Amino acid sequence: MSNWPLNDELVMIRETARRFMKNDVRPVEDTLPHDSIHLPHDKLESLQAKARELGLWCIRSPAEYGGAGLDLLGQAVVA
């Protein structure tokens, strides 16, 4: 049992972040040399666009400024 049970919204955000990393980010990273520190620009732009679409962009910024507006627990869940 968790000390902080997640509400339904945070569970959904967690699962969305996991799927995004598994299905979108990891396959791109797997094509790069193991010591890479940057993604190619075209791949980075498409991943950033997908993150925006999924609500995983600017998670600390308030929603009225285009961010997810997550509190600290929500930010930790995404991280």
> For the chain, what percentages of helix, strand and coil (3-state, to nearest 5) are there?
60, 0, 40
Work out the pLDDT band at 63, boundaries 50, 70, 90.
Answer: confident
pLDDT the model gives residue 4? 72
At 30-60, the pLDDT tens digits run 999 999 999 999 999 999 999 999 999 999 9
pLDDT(23) > 60: yes
Q: How many CB atoms lie within 10 A of CB 45?
A: 11
pLDDT(8) > 90: yes
Gap between the Cα atoms of 46 and 36, Å rounded: 18
Q: Closest Cα partner for 47 from 28, 22, 34?
A: 28
Gap between the Cα atoms of 68 and 42, Å rounded: 24
Domain ranges of the chain: 8-29+41-78
